Amino acid sequence: MRTHLAARLATLSLLVLAPLCGGCGEKLPPGAVPPEYAEAPLKDEVKPFENALRVSNAVLDLIEKGDTNAIYEQYLDPRLKQKATAEQFSKPLHVTLDKFGKLAAYKPMQWGFAQNTEGGMKLLYSTKIVAHERGWMIYQFQFEDDGVYAKLVGIAVQERKAGAAPAPR
């Protein structure tokens, strides 16, 4: 069952990394900052997820540097590497960057976490709001909820719309 879920996540999350156009609300006006774009210390109840935040930030740093191969090699779950090559993984990310421009900024201590179970696998979602040159994006990093949170089982990127909650879908 886990292999089936890993294959599904590889197909749905990694290969559809380009922003989803859905969501509610209007685009944020130029210069507007999402209200959730604020840093805060980790609360006691989410401290067990600290490594997921660290990995999420490290992946954003690599995106900022344009090093998608390092993301693939260092942070992608081995089950997904069997389903997607580094080139397949990188291509949708480059589509996002082409449409919204380079990653301009993110706040390391801006965070959001949610847990869910899909296909029998427990997942942790680490959500980050990220500024690009031409818009705000919601990055959702997906980890197996194994208590370690070192390898990604999926990434989803969506344009941040005004009024859209930056929570997992």
The answer as to whether 31 is a domain residue is no
Q: What is the pLDDT of residues 131-162, one digit of tens each?
A: 999 999 999 999 999 999 999 999 999 998 86
Comparing 4-13, 122-131, 155-164, which segment has the lowest mean pLDDT? Answer: 4-13
**Is the pLDDT assigned to residue 54 strictly greater than 50?**
yes
The whole domain housing 69 covers 2-21+51-159
Q: What is the pLDDT of residues 9-28, one digit of tens each?
A: 433 343 333 333 333 334 55
Per-residue confidence (pLDDT) for residue 36, from 0 to 100: 78
- Distance of alpha carbon 112 from alpha carbon 110, whole angstroms: 7
pTM of the model: 0.80
Per-residue confidence (pLDDT) for residue 27, from 0 to 100: 53
The answer as to whether 95 is a domain residue is yes
- Distance of alpha carbon 89 from alpha carbon 141, whole angstroms: 14
Q: At residue 117, what are phi and psi to the nearest 5 degrees?
A: -120, 130
The CATH number assigned to the domain holding 125 equals: 3.10.450.590
The answer as to whether 89 is a domain residue is yes
For the chain, what is the domain count?
1
Per-residue confidence (pLDDT) for residue 161, from 0 to 100: 80
Q: 9 exposed, middle or buried (CB, 10 Å; 0-12, 13-18, 19+)?
A: buried
Pairing of strands 135-144, 103-106: unpaired
The answer as to whether 28 is a domain residue is no
**Is the pLDDT assigned to residue 75 strictly greater than 60?**
yes
**Is the pLDDT assigned to residue 40 strictly greater than 60?**
yes
Over residues 107-128, the mean pLDDT reads 95
Comparing 22-36, 44-58, 84-98, which segment has the lowest mean pLDDT? Answer: 22-36
